[in-house]
Structure 1
Amino acid sequence: MSESLNKNYTRDSIIGLGEESFKKNYYPELLQKITMLEKLQNRNDTLINAMRDILFIYDAKTQIKPFSSTRIESHSLMSPILANAEAMENLKMGAEQALKHASYEITFTVEDKEKLVHLEARFNKTQSDEVIIIVRDISDIVELQKTHSSLLNLDPISKLYNRRWFDSKINEFTKVTAKHMALFILEVTGLQFIKTTLGQIHSEQLIVLAGEIISVFFSENTTVARISFESFAVIIEDISEMETEALAKNFETFMAKHNNSTNTKNVLISYGYAHHSEGIINMETMFVNANSFLHLSTLTQYERAKRFYLKRFLKTIEHKISNREASKECKKVLVNEFSRLLNLTSYKRKKLHQLSRLYDIGEIGLPEHIFQKKESLSEMEWSIVRSHTMIGEKLLTEFPEYKGLANFVLYHHENWDGSGYPYGLFKEAIPLESRIIRIIDSIVAMAHDLPYRKKIACEQLIKELKKGAGK
């Protein structure tokens, strides 16, 4: 008896115990099944260890434990979950729900190395009334959802909140009892003019600039959104009516100071506002009132805006020219000399002086890098440069007092022999004023340094003019 107790039983010896009770031909089959079960167990262990998910089991004793003991060390989140009482309570609650409903899902968070980890747990009841719990790290998905949500609420141009977000805020505040709230609606006056004359890119640059200015000024306790092509909205909480009025006046002062600075990045912004003092907020009414205020202030602003931007364009163009004062003086002298030689009337002389300042206004629509380039321009870049005559003509037709100069600007790069642009006009088909400006422009260009070449000597300049005669 003692001998049998001390015997070390192996799998083969256990199978051998049945020799007296079972037929010997069952042994190979039994051995095969045991081997198969072992293989399946090994496969399951390997599969479990390879999974990114964390597995728990909720047993009949209402205990939650790792599905496999080897997983406790192999998965970095296993220990933080087991050590987190709230997380374990959440898992227990989910398991109890799964026992009632066969399956269940929850999300929860745990701290791991001072980082918040978002987890999803799925519970499935087994036939033996246990619950398999599959826990998955969904932090990347949560971050992706946040990013997606953020993108849905952001304006792609200004990088501020968009109309979708603004409407949600209106719904959030509507019918809420609160005190002291202000709503400002601000408009980039003349933005449509910029888009029509210079194109989408320049209008978007102005939108970005306006958004930056508005965000800087309305920086405290506010949220800023771009709500239409040319409009922004600012919601300000906890602000009295008197403070709102003062803020509006300060904004006017702020904008005047900004636009009167030497900075060429000027923009004209009109505004309207509404204030809620107390009681139930009606954001829609506030929006209508602020818009009405804005509309009144912009009724006479469009023409002012056009002149404002024309002045800004001229200042920007002048800033691109090295020795600009010398260039201006040179043009003035040349206009007077041509007027004298051609016996032009004082009216035409006056128009020529205006034209000498405006003929390259279309360059405002050209990319900045072209002005900075020191190497020769490519053919593509030259085609872009040639477009400035048409841009200039389009700009000046917006102004009654300059409309008569628009054609002269359009044709000021036409050549006598038809080799010019944009239309290749010949001889007298080119207006006299355009021909004069063509020569003046050439002289000024040769007499002053340019990014891609130095000025030429006076003798060489005269040779170049004679060489180009009749062309």
Structure 2
Amino acid sequence: IKHLSFHDALTGLYNRAYFEEELERYNFPRYYPLSMVILDVNGLKVINDTFGHHEGDKLLQHLSQTLVSVSRQGDILARIGGDEFAIILPSTTSEQSHSFCERIKKACQQDKIEPIYLRLNISLGHVTQEGEYKDINSLLKTADRKMYQDKLFSAKSREKHFLEAFRIILAERDPHTSDHAQRLQGLALSLGKRVGLNEYQLGNLKLLALLHDIGKIGIPDSILFKTYILTPSEWEKMREHSRKGYRMAKNIPDFAPIAQEILYHHEHWNGNGYPDGRANS
């Protein structure tokens, strides 16, 4: 019972209650310099929405194992929120804390786990207490602010990470979809230039041609690869791919501008399309 009260059931790491208790205990001069790292998983919501919470859980467990592998004996690792983790580094200077964070980043960059969407993409921030922070809340806020700065600075690489992951998954699951997207991209750009779209609009059109079928990632293989006619219930599930794609795109800032187009790319001018049967729009 004591073990359960201080540990996170999913990852086996310490929980927030134990983390805060230990941070309070270590926040005394005899443990200075006291460093702390806050980090979170980029894109957990996208993974949960696309592949299911069981896959999101695998991602969290994989990160936990990676953090344990690069940590020292005596470091205190905890999962303190849904996608947020924290590490207490007793008697650790700011320079040592920075080196530790670089080890974490390197381990994530070298991650080769399959499927590709479970490869780690994180944001982190670290802070060192040498007496200047009056309490642990100030310490936590500083580390949290640095983590969000890192998230902002790495936003472009994060979007590139998801774009590449989705492109590879689509190609692996259905090579015809990948070939279709490449052909459509060329046709769409040619038409877009002909009608006078600006560079921003052409960029979105190119991305839309590549990702319009992204929701098929969430369609079961038994339906996606069926070689004969789909049943009405199977066809209903297949038609869900535009809504799935919409949910995926709207949760990724660089993809959000084309989310609406992904949702409606199977609508017809006469109202016979899906998902909403929109006409003349």
Question: What is the TM-score normalised by the length of structure 2?
Answer: 0.70
2:171 is matched with which residue?
321
**Stretch deviating more after TM superposition (210-219 or 414-423):** 414-423
Who is 2:16 aligned against? 163
SS of residue paired to 1:158:
coil
Task: Name the counterpart of 1:285.
Answer: 135
Match of 1:265 in 2: 118
- Structure 2: segments with no counterpart, 5+ residues: none
The answer to whether the 8 Å contact 1:317/1:363 transfers is no
Partners of 1:290 and 1:322 in 2: CA distance: 42
Whole-angstrom CA distance in 1 between matches of 2:253 and 2:31: 51
Deviations 1:54-113 (A, max 9, x none): xxxxxxxxxxxxxxxxxxxxxxxxxxxxxxxxxxxxxxxxxxxxxxxxxxxxxxxxxxxx
Q: How does 1:137-148 map to 2 (within 5 A)?
A: 148=1
**Identity percentage over the alignment?**
19
| 8 Å contact from structure 1 (residues 276, 286) kept in 2 | no
How well do the aligned residues superpose, as a CA RMSD in angstroms? 4.5
Match of 2:87 in 1: 234
- AA matched with 1:298: Y
For residue 380 of structure 1, report the CA deviation from its aligned partner. Answer: 6.0
SS state of the match for residue 225, structure 1? strand
> 1:384 Cα shift?
4.6
The residue number in structure 2 matching 1:32 is none
Distance in 2, matches of 1:200 and 1:209, equals 16
The code of the aligned residue for 2:171 comes to: I
Q: Deviations over 1:146-174 (max 9, x none)?
A: xx222222223333211122123234435
Q: How many Å apart are 1:256 and its aligned residue?
A: 3.4
Matched residue pairs, number? 274
Whole-Å separation in 2 of the counterparts to 1:335 and 1:298: 35
| In the alignment, structure 1 residue 413 sits paired with structure 2 residue 266 | yes
Q: Displacement, 1:224?
A: 1.0
The answer for the alignment partner of 2:148 in structure 1 is: 298
Paired residue secondary structure (1:299): helix
Classify the secondary structure of the residue corresponding to 1:156. coil
Q: Which residue of 1 aligns with 2:97?
A: 244
Alpha-carbon separation, structure 2, partners of 1:286 and 1:296: 15
Q: C-alpha distance in 2, partners of 1:169/1:242?
A: 22
- Structure 1: gaps (5+ residues): 1-147, 430-471
Q: 2:212 is matched by which residue type in structure 1? A: Y
Contact 1:188 1:230 in 2 (8 A): yes
- Within 2, Cα distance between the matches of 1:385 and 1:324? 14
Q: 1:224–1:232: 8 Å Cα contact kept in structure 2?
A: yes
* Aligned amino acid, residue 166 of structure 2: T
Change (3 A) 1:168 1:382: farther
Pair 1:217 & 2:70 matched: yes
For 2:188 and 2:132, the matched residues in 1 are separated by 67
Map residues 316-465 of structure 1 onto 2, 5 A cutoff. Answer: 316-322=166-172, 328-334=178-184, 336=186, 344-345=194-195, 347=197, 352-364=205-217, 366=218, 370-371=220-221, 383-397=236-250, 405-415=258-268, 418-426=271-279, 428-429=280-281
Deviation at 1:226, TM superposition (A): 0.9
* Contact 1:272–1:291 (8 Å) recurs in 2: no
Work out the CA distance in 2 between the residues paired with 1:213 and 1:349.
40
Partner of 1:128: none
In the TM superposition, residue 312 of structure 1 has moved relative to its aligned partner by 1.7
Deviations 1:169-203 (A, max 9, x none): 23443558446543222233455x64897598265
Residue 27 of structure 1 corresponds to none
Structure of larger gyration radius = 1
- In 2, Cα distance between the equivalents of 1:160 and 1:196? 21
User: Structure 1, residues 349-381: CA drift from partner, whole Å, max 9, x if none?
Assistant: 7654432201022345x27xx136766877666
Task: Give the conservation status (yes or no) of the 8 Å contact 1:182–1:273.
Answer: yes
- d(CA) in 1 for partners of 2:3, 2:16: 13
How far is the alpha carbon of 1:269 from its aligned partner? Answer: 2.1
Aligned-partner residue type, residue 247 of structure 1: F
TM-score, length of structure 1 as denominator length: 0.46
CA drift at 1:271: 2.3
Match of 2:109 in 1: 256
Give the SS at the match of 2:135: helix
Greater relative CO, 1 or 2 (CA 8 Å, sep 6+): 2
Q: Which letter does structure 1 place at the counterpart of 2:165?
A: K
The one-letter code of the counterpart of 1:150 is H
Kept in 2, the 8 Å contact 1:413–1:421? The answer is yes
Matched, 1:149 2:2: yes
Tell me which protein shows more strand as a share of its residues.
1
